[in-house]
Amino acid sequence: MARKKYQGEINDKEKSKEKLINAVGKVLKSKGYIGLTATNIAKAAGLSRRLITIYFDSVDDLVETYVRNKDYWIAASGNTKQLIVENNGRDTKKIIDCMLQNQLDYFYNNAEMQKLILWEISKKTQIMYEVCEDRERLGSKIFELTDKELEEKNIDIRAISALLVAGVYYMVLHAKSTDTLFCEIDINTPEGMERIRNAISDILDNAYNS
């Protein structure tokens, strides 16, 4: 017969903390960042508001714990790190293309990340500032490799990447919030999504071969 797990104070505390962290995601998806109040989070978790201040000091601390635990940008980068190792830091076009394609997929399918991006561009907060810095550090590692590979070429791969990432974010947010086309493309259809995928690869091909 299986032994029963101890259901003491420590066990209950960890379960309650996990429920509160998960509740942040639920509220973010349903109400956006403006809905991240103690009342809404506690209700989504099915717990008392008091537990937020007991376990996390404040709502901000709880939200920060949630954001850092999710590691959206690490997840969105897919197998980029593996590609860097496999290619010994070379063929950076393939690495960037893979990263952008993964971001497109992940961002399109992750409602919580969509809300986080809206939060990032709508309100200046310390939490999102630190998250953005983490994302920039991840990108810097890749740009160190592109600098070596493109040393003899006059290519601003940072600016090109910035436009591609911003385009991915905007097209996804536009597709999720309206029923209208964008430049006569609907990425809610497989055909539209494939056109954007091909465009990303074409832009990088043209940049690297210029």
Are the C-beta atoms of residues 33 and 115 closer than 8 Å to each other?
yes
Closest by CA position to 72, among listed 110, 126, 43, 42: 110
**Torsional class of 32: left (φ above 0), alpha (ψ -120 to 50), beta (otherwise):** left
- Predicted model pTM: 0.78
**Considering only the top CATH level, what class is 9-70?**
mainly alpha
- Interior angle at CA 206, CA 204 and CA 210, nearest 5: 120
Instruction: Please classify residue 165 by burial: count the beta carbons closer than 10 Å to its beta carbon, then call 0-12 exposed, 13-18 middle and 19+ buried.
Output: middle
Q: How far apart are CA 92 and CA 145, in angstroms?
A: 7
Across 99-117, average pLDDT: 89
Question: Tokens in use for 200?
Answer: 């990303």
Percent of the chain with pLDDT over 70: 88
List beta partners, residue 182.
185
pLDDT at 1 over 50: no
Are the C-beta atoms of residues 141 and 77 closer than 8 Å to each other?
no
Q: How far apart are CA 12 and CA 102, in angstroms?
A: 37
List beta partners, residue 126.
none
Are the C-beta atoms of residues 158 and 93 closer than 8 Å to each other?
no
Coil, helix or strand at residue 155:
coil
Question: Tokens in use for 120?
Answer: 């990032």
pLDDT in tens, 133-183: 877 887 888 898 899 888 888 899 999 999 999 999 999 999 998 888 999
Question: Tokens in use for 136?
Answer: 């920039």
Coil, helix or strand at residue 202:
helix
Output the pLDDT for position 122.
Answer: 84
Q: How far apart are CA 25 and CA 84, in angstroms?
A: 31
- Tracing tokens 């996390």 back to the chain, one arrives at 56
